[in-house]
């Protein structure tokens, strides 16, 4: 059996009438007065648990709806409406789209937006020439699209539905990429060649410095020829020195294909490339032969009268 709820004003009237009829004063305390005024449900009695639940449900039924002018995300309201749906209901133009189904491609790198305006959250990056599906259009800057399975909004100016244009752009990009690849390869090859040349040049410079400062053979620990010594016996026999103009000797060596640089070592030895120039018995040491002397490795470039007396003697070209 359901309880009958009596409004507070009716209950109070009945109570006062009964008390007056019985000729008794009304015993009302301060606390009773305060209690009698508290009726949360407005009907003169405390709410049941079911009523409280119903009241809570009514008060919170729209808490999920975003303020359409706040710029919030795509939340879902108590009515199951997305932000875009809510905006459409409120008549906000950016969210009102004419439905279409068209393939389109991007003319530039861009981003997929969560809502159709510049300040909206970025959902994902899209690359130039990527394909998307247009699902809604209007007169506003952003159109509704799907990129794969993701729904969002892209500026209409970044879209084209002309497949031929995309094909042309793709071919142009392919040609450009090939040209860039060729340029990169050429630059890398040039860089490697330059590095090798620099390395070889550096090695040659260090080697030349080493040769310039040499004063004796690395393979001989005996006496070393000098101006003061005049003559010594080195690793291949007697050694002497001479100082003559070498132009004719050098010309002869050039004719034979020896193109090393002519220069003078720090200790006065005349050099052809990496070797000390010397004269020898050409029957024992032909021109171009390499032979070790006390000062280092020699190249035979000349001969002299001494060769008849001592076929093993070497005459070293110096500035002494």
Whether residue 188 lies inside any domain: the answer is yes
Report pLDDT digits (tens) over 294-314: 999 999 999 999 999 999 999
Q: Is the pLDDT of residue 147 over 50?
A: yes
Summarised one tens digit per residue, pLDDT across range 190-200 is 778 777 777 88
Q: State percent of the chain over pLDDT 90.
A: 49
The answer to the question of residue 105 being in a domain is yes
pLDDT score, position 176: 62
Tokens of 261: 């640089």
pLDDT band at 79 (very low <50, low <70, confident <90, very high): low
Bridge-based pairing state of the strands 270-272 and 262-264:
antiparallel
Tokens of 214: 């040499």
- pLDDT above 80 for 59: no
Would you state the pLDDT for residue 128?
A: 87
Q: Domain residues for 189?
A: 164-210
Least confident span in 67-76, 111-120, 172-181, 248-257: 67-76
Q: Is residue 285 part of a domain?
A: yes
What is the mean pLDDT of the segment spanning 86-110? 86
Query: Residue 143 in 3-state DSSP?
Result: strand
CA dihedral 73→74→77→80, nearest 10 degrees, is -170
Q: What is the pLDDT of residue 265?
A: 95
Q: 91 lies in a domain?
A: no
User: Model confidence at 175, in pLDDT bands (50, 70, 90)?
Assistant: low
- DSSP-assigned beta bridge partners for residue 159: 106
Q: Residue 126: its pLDDT value, please?
A: 94
CA proximity to 84, closest of 111, 99, 64, 66: 66
**Residue 33 has what pLDDT?**
38
- Cβ pair 281, 315 in contact under 8 A: no
Residue with tokens 């400062």: 213
Burial code of 148-187, b = ≥16 C-beta within 10 A, e = fewer? eeebbbbbbebbbeeeeebeeeeeeeeeeeeeeeeeeeee
- Does residue 38 lie in a domain region? yes
Q: How far apart are CA 256 and CA 5, in angstroms?
A: 132
- The Cα 228–Cα 66 span in angstroms is 106
Question: Would you say residue 267 lies in a domain?
Answer: yes
- pLDDT value of residue 47: 43
Per-residue model confidence (pLDDT) at position 290: 97
286: which residues sit within 8 A by CB, 6+ positions away? 300
- If asked whether residues 306 and 239 sit together in one domain, one would say yes
Asked if the structure places residue 297 within a domain, the reply is yes
How many domains is the chain built from? 4
Q: Which residue has the higher pLDDT, 124 or 202?
A: 124
Q: Does residue 257 sit within a domain?
A: yes
Comparing C-alpha atoms, which of 114, 113, 104, 39 is closest to residue 82? 114
DSSP tag of 269: B
Q: pLDDT higher for 179 or 28?
A: 179
Do 239 and 171 sit in the same domain of this protein?
Answer: no
Helix, coil or strand: residue 99? strand
Strand 159-160 to 150-155 pairing: unpaired
- Residue pair 288/300 in contact (Cβ under 8 Å)? The answer is yes
So what's the pLDDT on residue 203?
82
Model confidence over 212-262: pLDDT tens digits? 999 999 888 999 999 999 999 999 999 999 999 999 999 999 999 999 999
Average pLDDT along the chain: 77
């Amino acid at each position: 059996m359901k309880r009958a709820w009596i409004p507070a004003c009716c209950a109070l009237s009945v109570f006062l009438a009964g008390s007056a009829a019985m000729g008794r004063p009304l015993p009302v305390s301060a606390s009773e007065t305060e209690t009698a005024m508290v009726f949360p449900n407005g009907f003169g009695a405390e709410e049941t648990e079911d009523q409280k639940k119903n009241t809570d449900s009514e008060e919170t039924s729209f808490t999920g709806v975003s303020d359409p002018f706040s710029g919030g995300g795509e939340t879902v309201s108590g009515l199951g409406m997305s932000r875009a749906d809510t905006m459409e209901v409120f008549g906000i133009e950016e969210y009102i789209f004419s439905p279409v189904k068209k393939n389109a491609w991007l003319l530039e790198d861009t981003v997929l937006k969560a809502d159709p305006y510049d300040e909206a959250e970025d959902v994902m990056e899209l690359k130039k020439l990527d394909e998307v599906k247009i699902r809604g259009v209007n007169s506003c800057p952003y159109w509704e699209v799907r990129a794969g399975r993701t729904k969002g909004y892209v500026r209409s100016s970044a879209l084209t539905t002309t497949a031929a244009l995309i094909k042309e752009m793709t071919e142009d990009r392919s040609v450009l990429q090939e040209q860039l690849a060729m340029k990169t390869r050429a630059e890398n090859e040039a860089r490697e060649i330059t590095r090798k040349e620099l390395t070889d040049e550096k090695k040659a410079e260090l080697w030349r410095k080493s040769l310039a400062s040499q004063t004796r053979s690395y393979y001989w620990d005996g006496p070393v020829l000098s101006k003061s010594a005049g003559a010594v016996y080195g690793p291949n026999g007697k050694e002497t020195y001479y100082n003559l103009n070498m132009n004719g000797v050098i010309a002869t060596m050039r004719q034979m294909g020896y193109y090393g640089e002519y220069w003078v070592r720090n200790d006065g030895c005349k050099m052809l490339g990496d070797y000390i120039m010397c004269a020898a018995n050409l029957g024992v040491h032909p021109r171009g032969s390499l032979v070790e002397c006390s000062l280092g490795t020699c190249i035979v470039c000349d001969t002299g009268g001494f060769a008849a007396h001592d076929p093993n003697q070497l005459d070293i070209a110096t500035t002494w």
